[in-house]
Amino acid sequence: MKISQAHIEQLRNLLARPAQRFVIVSHTNPDGDAVGSSLAWAEILRGMGHAVTCIVPNKYPYFLDWMEGIDEIVIFKTDTEGRAVRAIEEADAIFCLDFNAVSRLEILSDTIEANTTARRVLIDHHLSPDGHFDLSFSYPDSSSTCFLVYSIIEALFGTDAITRQMAEALYVGIMTDTGNFAYSFLTPELFRAVAVLVEKGISIPEIHNNVYNAYTEGRARLFGYVINRKMEIIQDGTVAYMSLMENEMRRFQFQQGDSEGFVNYALTIKKMKMSAMFLAHRKFIRVSLRSRGDVDVNLFARKYFNGGGHKNAAGGKSFVSMEETIAHYIRSVKEFAEEGHLG
């Protein structure tokens, strides 16, 4: 991944005017990469003397509660004081991290669109961004937005600007979005960046423990229920899907983030090439897709679920019933296979 020097200079110029008001926003159901990149970038901007407000549409997972600075993130859905709206209205620039279209902000989209004067800067690693940004750092070959933020900081200021707190936030995003360094784009540059973060004083075992060994009992029992009762395997053992209705989630005291990683588990089965998770919400069903090797779930998501993402990790939505959604998925998988996309 090579960052455009021209874009770096444009960003340097944008940041040059002192005491600006900046907003950092990330996507609905923010994950470790969204939160980590937002916190690290916010610290850099505050260090330059700018006022920064980090905003997410809804709550981040509880297993990220330990992260330094996370309590300063404004959650739009529960923001009764109107802090988010005021910050967006007054913003000189809005930094959009870890998503590639304003529509992905869902309940926050209209508020962002209403500010037509603020510069919009995209920092993201998903495929096919929309063109509504004044400055775009769109690098689908980056393993995570956190690695992209690291690379931008390095290009602007050098790695001396990275504090231990920043390093911890960046490592959370890199660790979670690479699946503990098991997915694509594991480049020498990435591991050199991790070495720098370790030199800043972070503890990899401690961060891993904070994120992955902090689940509730309900989440553990929900996982067992999903694998035992709700996982179905089709297409001669090469495709799987799982589903959860709202009443099932309530039975296990579901909290935001509890189903994270479930969709990946089917891929541990020999021969498995593609997996889906269908999670019921009040107005729609959220679709998560994962795959191995050359099976392109970004293509599948765009074609059948009006979504997108990465080659091996993508998502979308369905606005019909769970039964109809699963039937549509099974038909779509069959068509996808007939077109030769499942290998």
Whether the pLDDT of residue 129 is over 90: the answer is no
**Average of per-residue pLDDT across 227-252:** 97
> What's the Cα-to-Cα distance from 2 to each of 82, 195, 225, rounded to whole Å?
39, 19, 44
pLDDT classification of 230: cutoffs 50, 70, 90: very high
Q: In the prediction, which pLDDT does 110 show?
A: 92
Spatial contact of 277 and 325, defined as CB atoms under 8 Å apart = no
Spatial contact of 70 and 96, defined as CB atoms under 8 Å apart = no
Bigger pLDDT: 281 or 183? 281
- CB burial of 237-275 (b: ≥16 within 10 Å; e: otherwise) equals ebbbbbbbeeebbeebebbebbbbbbbbbbeeeeebbbb
Task: Dump pLDDT digits (tens) for 302-316.
Answer: 999 999 988 999 999
Bigger pLDDT: 120 or 343? 120
Q: In the prediction, which pLDDT does 291 show?
A: 96
Q: Length of the chain, please?
A: 343
Whether the pLDDT of residue 296 is over 90: the answer is yes
Whether the pLDDT of residue 184 is over 90: the answer is no
Q: CA-to-CA distance for 17 and 128, rounded, in angstroms?
A: 31
**Average of per-residue pLDDT across 15-19:** 96
> How many contiguous H segments (helices) and E segments (strands) does the chain have?
13, 12
Task: Dump pLDDT digits (tens) for 79-122.
Answer: 999 999 999 999 999 999 999 988 888 899 999 999 889 999 99
**Average of per-residue pLDDT across 210-234:** 96
Whether the pLDDT of residue 210 is over 90: the answer is yes
pLDDT classification of 257: cutoffs 50, 70, 90: confident
Residues facing residue 23 across a β-bridge: 53, 94
Mean pLDDT, all residues of the chain: 95
**Average of per-residue pLDDT across 120-129:** 93
Whether the pLDDT of residue 20 is over 90: the answer is yes
Q: Which of 41, 53, 48, 140 is nearest to 90 (CA)?
A: 53
Q: 34: part of which helix (H) or strand (E)?
A: helix 32-47
Whether the pLDDT of residue 297 is over 90: the answer is yes
Whether the pLDDT of residue 182 is over 90: the answer is no
Q: Which of 138, 205, 146, 141 is nearest to 176 (CA)?
A: 146
Whether the pLDDT of residue 340 is over 90: the answer is yes
Region 5-211: CATH code: 3.90.1640.10
Q: In the prediction, which pLDDT does 1 show?
A: 84
What are the φ/ψ torsions at residue 65 (nearest 5 degrees)?
Answer: -55, -25
- CB burial of 171-192 (b: ≥16 within 10 Å; e: otherwise) equals bbbbbbbbeeeebebeeebbee
Q: In the prediction, which pLDDT does 122 show?
A: 97
Class of domain 217-338: alpha beta
Distance of alpha carbon 80 from the chain centroid: 25
CA 13-14-20 angle, 5° bins:
130
How do the domains of the chain map onto residue ranges?
A: 5-211, 217-338
Q: CA-to-CA distance for 230 and 289, rounded, in angstroms?
A: 16
Q: In the prediction, which pLDDT does 274 show?
A: 98
Q: Which of 191, 215, 216, 187 is nearest to 204 (CA)?
A: 191
Bigger pLDDT: 343 or 95? 95
Whether the pLDDT of residue 43 is over 90: the answer is yes
Q: How many CB atoms neighbour CB 95 within 10 A? A: 28
Name the pTM for this structure.
0.89
